[in-house]
Structure formats: structure tokens, C-alpha cells
Amino acid sequence: MDELRVRQLRFVLGAVLASGLSFSANAVEYVCSVTTRVGSPTFVLVETHARDSAQRIAAAAKVRVSNGVRSPVVEVHQCIDRLHERFADSETQQRLERYPL
């Protein structure tokens, strides 16, 4: 199993540490654009060795929404290499750029 550390960003409240697991120096940091059960657009950051692994991890994440309740991810739209790629959707990319990582 990949070693990873998962962090999440919320549009409304900024960066929030979701959970910390072991980190590997060879892992890539992926940013996944997701939607939660309550409909909130959210970013989930995942450090792992493969994009498909990042998508699986993001799909299993629970994100704190504006009322503080954890909401499960219901859809993963796209995962990108945070340092080398951009989201296909320009609005999603612009929202990501507003949050320092």
C-alpha cells in the first residue's frame, strides 16, 4: 500500500489538515477537485505514488463543511500533480490559486 498523507482544502474556510499518515519522499502531491454529499466543492490533497491511488483516497475522504460536520466525498472530478499540472476547468484552477499551499 502506498505511504501517504492526506490534507484537504475547503473553499469557505481555507486549508484544513484532514489526517496525517506516513509520508514517503518519493510521493507526488496530488490536488483532487471533489464534491461532498452536502454539495460543497472542495479540494483534497493526497501524497501518494500514483494518480489512481490519489483518486481512490480522495473518494474515501470525509471533509469538514462550513457547519463543522464531516461530509463524505461523493464525486472526484479530477486529480492533478500540484506542482506540474493545472485543472482542465479554469474556474476550479482559479479557486485553487486563491489558496496558498
Return the domain boundaries, the chain.
5-97
pTM of the model: 0.74
pLDDT at residue 24, as a whole number = 58
Q: What's phi and psi for 59, nearest 5 deg?
A: -65, -25
Higher pLDDT, 31 or 67: 31
C-alpha cell at 5: 498523507
Question: Sorting pLDDT into bands at 50, 70 and 90, what band is 8?
Answer: very low
For the cut 90, the answer to whether the pLDDT of residue 17 exceeds it is: no
pLDDT (tens digit, 9 = 90+) per residue, 38-90? 988 989 999 999 999 999 999 999 988 877 889 999 999 999 999 999 999 99
Q: How far apart are CA 50 and CA 36, in angstroms?
A: 23
For 30-63, give the DSSP string: EEEEEEETT--EEEEEEEES-HHHHHHHHHT-EE
Residue 21 has a pLDDT of 43
* Residue 33, C-beta contacts closer than 8 angstroms, at least 6 positions apart: 41, 42, 43, 76, 77, 78, 79, 87, 89, 92, 96
